[in-house]
Structure 1
Amino acid sequence: MSTEKHHVVYSELSEAVRIAEWEELEDRQPAHALVENTDLVLIRFGDRISVLYGRCLHRGALLADGFVDDRDNLICGVHHWDYRIDTGVSEYNNEEQLHAFKAAVHKGGVFVDRAEIVAFEELHPQPFQRGQYLG
């Protein structure tokens, strides 16, 4: 899966929602955003942005609490599951993949498509209580 299909122009987002300020995102430092009931993890790398489903597929820990290693893998801070920052695919197990949401950088902001996130939630209801420890 190519990142390019997820890094889109603003006009391609049917219900654009601003989730971050581009200049506030540090290179290869995971950041959290919440849209509807879906946690997102944002990773700026160079002049690109990746917006992935923000919960680890293992136990549901927030991936924004993790880190990016020297091979551009997003590493879960709890049990060290890995996901490529550009695709969301695990290097260890290619069958494990975070959903990569369409995202656009426009007028200094990072935007996602609310309609895409609502559709994702319908297919993938969140199986946890937001306030509980998930490690």
Structure 2
Amino acid sequence: MNQQNVTQVHTPARHFSVLLSPTPRGARLARLLAVAWMRDHDVPYGLTESATQVVAELAANAATHGRVGGRSFRLALLSRPDTLRIEVTDTRGEDLPRARPHRPESDSGRGLLLVEALADRWGVALGPVPRKTVWAELDLPRP
């Protein structure tokens, strides 16, 4: 019987996390830091554009709807061989996000619709109290 030694190569997950102020400036900084991190970790360009928009929407929601004075929000990026995961955690666990029907006359309310369109999956995880994490995953192209 011929046996071959097969070595599996496990690509470690790459992770980034930062606390930011729940302000428009903090949301903008989340987007800029995400772009720099994705560039440094060779996330494909087309995916970077979609991921940047997802980060911008989730961070803006955290700064607008998840804002609690004196409490930061957290941006986390996790890259695995097949998935880029974006997480934004704020301290308004009682205020769960939900996609709302779009009103053409409204200036806001499209964020989660964009996230839903750009991400392959998204959802909300609760806890620990008083936190909630809104996450989105984008599938990475296979080599």
Q: TM-score range by the shorter chain?
A: under 0.3
Give the alignment's TM-score, normalised by structure 1: 0.27
Give the alignment's TM-score, normalised by structure 2: 0.26
Higher helix share: 2
Structure number with bigger Rg: 2
Higher strand share: 1
